[in-house]
Structure 1
C-alpha cells in the first residue's frame, strides 16, 4: 500500500515545522518521493493500493488548494521536480508513478480549466507589494538579497519592474550571484561580506536553502540605519531575535502569508470547479486500480493452472 507522512502549514506553525521537518525522512534505500517546500514536507512511498484519502490530498496539493496562498503556481513545479528527482534516484513502484503522474496532470487541468490562479499571488509578489505598503522608494533605496534561486529571481523581476536599481546579490556560491547580478544589472557580493551588506541595505531579503539560520543579531553593525528584513526561507535564515533589535522590522514566511490573506482576494468560487476536476481524476485512478487488481488475479490464476 502507498503510504505518506506529512507536516504542513495547516497543522503546524513555522517553528513547529522547523522542529519536525527532520522527522519526515525515510532511509535513503527506500524508494520514495520527498516534497519539501516552505509550507510543507511530505514523503510518499510503497507499492500496491493507493488510498483515496492520500490521493485526494496530493491532488489538492498539486492544484494549489492546500497552499497558504490558494492557487499559487509554484507548488506544481515543486511537485513535478520532486517526482522527477525521485524517478532518477529510484525504481518507483507503478502505483507511485501513477499517483504522481496523475497529480501533475490534475494540477495542469485545474489551472487550465478554472480561474483558480487568477486571484492567486506568489510569495515573491507579496514581498514586493509589502515594500509598496511601506512606501519604499525603490529607485533610491538599496536592496540586499541573500540566496539565488527561482524565488529570488522572481523577486528580482518584480523589483526591477518597479524601478529598483541598487540591488546587491549574495550567495554561498558566488558564481551564481555573479550570473544573476549580470542578468538583472545588480552587484554580486560574497556571503562572507554579509556584515557590509547589512550595514548599507535599506531592505534585506533572505531565501536560501541553508539548514540553519545565517543572520544573527551580532551580524548587524552598530552604525547601520533602519532596515526592513524579509525572511522567506524554510528553515528560517534570520534568527527571530533580530526582530527585537531597534530599527529592524522582520517578517517571516507566515507574516507574509498573513499580509496576503488580509489584503488580497482569491478566486474562492473556483475552488468547487477545481474539486470537481479532482473527483473526476479520482474516479479514473480508481478504475486504473481495479484493472490492475484484475490483471494480478488473472495472472495468479494462469500461474496456478499451469503448475497443475
Structure 2
C-alpha cells in the first residue's frame, strides 16, 4: 500500500533560467493544455520552478516536460512520501531561492485552484495540497522562517520604518525608475507615504513609474529642488558618477535620511559627514539582509519538525482513506453485535456501545494499513477478512 503520489519537476537548483523559461506553463493556455494531457494532476509553475504532482505513474509528466525542450538531467522525480515531503518543503519556503519567502505559498494555493477549475484533482492530491497550504501557514506563524527583510529593497523600507516609525505624511524621493525603484515603491505604497517624488534622467520613464504609484515625476535637472522637499531619499539610478554631493544639500531645519542602493553609488560618501544628513549604503543594507537570512536558516529545524508531523498526519489520513470500506463494515458488524444483546435497549445507548466495540478494531485496522505504507501492496484488507470468518 505504498503512497502513490509522484512529483516530476525542475527548479533553480537543477536548471538555468533559459531552461526554466522553456518549461514555464502560462495559466491561460499552456497549463490547461497540460492538465488535459495529464488527466489528473496539479502543476506548480513559477519563475523558479515547474513541478507536476500526480497519482500513479510519473511517465506522462516526464514526457510533458521533455516535450518542452527540457533535458532529462534537469529533472527530478520523487515518489511516495518523498514527493509529499518535497511539496511541504516548497509550501514552507525551504526550497525557495530565498529561504522563507512568502510568495510561494500563494502560488501553491493558486496551483490547486487551477487544477480544481479544470477538474484535474482527486482526493489524494486535494488532501496533499490542502495540508501543504496549512503547513505553510503554520511555518510562518509558529516559527521565524519568514521574519526580517531579505531583499535590499525591503531592507531599505525596514530602515526607513526604523528611523521614522510612521511614513505617512513624509515626502520620499526615489532616484531612478528601474526595477529596484519599482520594488521599493511597491513596498512603500503599502505604508501610506505622504508624497512620492520620482527623479530620473529620462523624465518619461519617471512619469510612467510615478503614475503607477500616485507620485510626481521630475527630470534629473530638478534634483536639487526635490532634495529640498524630501524627508527620505532612496537612490537606485544607473549613473556613471555621483548624482548627489555635499554641495547639493543645503543646511536644513530637519535631518535628511539617504539610502543609496545603487551600484555604482549615486551619493557621494562625503554626504554622510554632513551634520544634517544620515547616509546608508548597499553594504549597510546587505549586512541587515545577511543577518536576517542567517536568522531564518536557524529556524529551518523547527519547520522541518512541523513537516514531519504533517507527513505523519497525512499518512494516518491515507491509511484511513484506504480502509474506509473495511471501517464501515466493522461499524456495521459492531452495531449488529450489540443489537443481538438487548433488542429493547435505547438506540442512543446501542450506538454508543457499538462505537466502543468498534473503536479498538478500527484503530488496529488503521495501524496495520499505516505500517504497510512503506511495504508492498496488500491484496485486500486482512483484518476485515479475518473478521468475516468469525
- TM-score normalised to structure 2 length: 0.46
Partner of 2:55: 46
Where structure 2 has 5 or more consecutive residues not aligned to the other structure, the ranges are 58-78, 159-171, 200-205, 218-234, 242-262, 265-285, 330-379, 385-390
Q: How does 1:255-266 map to 2 (within 5 A)?
A: 264=292, 265-266=294-295
Distance across 2 between alignment mates of 1:153 and 1:77: 22
Partner of 1:292: helix, strand, or coil? helix
Output one character per residue of 1:252-287: Cα deviation in whole Å (capped at 9) or x when no partner: xxxxxxx79767533222111110011011000010
**Distance verdict in 2 for CA 1:95–1:116, change over 3 Å:** same
One of 50, 73, 80 as aligned partner of 2:102: 73
Residue 28 of structure 1 corresponds to 35
The alignment's C-alpha RMSD in Å is 4.8
How big is the shift at 1:102?
0.2
Partner of 1:281: 310
2:305 alignment partner, SS class? helix
**What residue is the counterpart of 1:57 in the other structure?**
86
User: Map of 1:1-308 to 2, 5 A cutoff?
Assistant: 1-21=4-24, 27-29=34-36, 30-46=39-55, 51-119=80-148, 121=150, 125=154, 139=173, 141-144=175-178, 154-155=186-187, 157=189, 164-166=196-198, 168=206, 181=212, 184-186=213-215, 264=292, 265-296=294-325
Task: Answer yes or no: is the 8 Å Cα contact 1:35–1:41 preserved in 2.
Answer: yes
Q: Distance in 1 between matches of 2:46 and 2:190?
A: 21
Question: What is the deviation of 1:155?
Answer: 4.4
Contact 2:89/2:95 (<8 A) preserved: yes
Instruction: Say if 1:120 and 1:39 are closer, same or farther in 2 by CA, change over 3 A.
Output: farther
Structure 1 unaligned residues grouped into runs of 5+: 130-137, 172-176, 189-201, 205-223, 228-247, 250-258, 303-308
Aligned length: 230
CA–CA separation in structure 2 for the residues paired with 1:15 and 1:266: 32
Q: Aligned in 2, Cα 1:263/1:43: closer, same or farther, shift over 3 Å?
A: same
CA contact (8 A) 2:42 2:120 kept: no
Structure 1 segments (4+ residues) deviating >6 Å:
126-129, 298-302
Q: Is the CA contact 2:157–2:184 (under 8 Å) kept in the aligned structure 1?
A: no
TM superposition shift of 1:152: 8.3
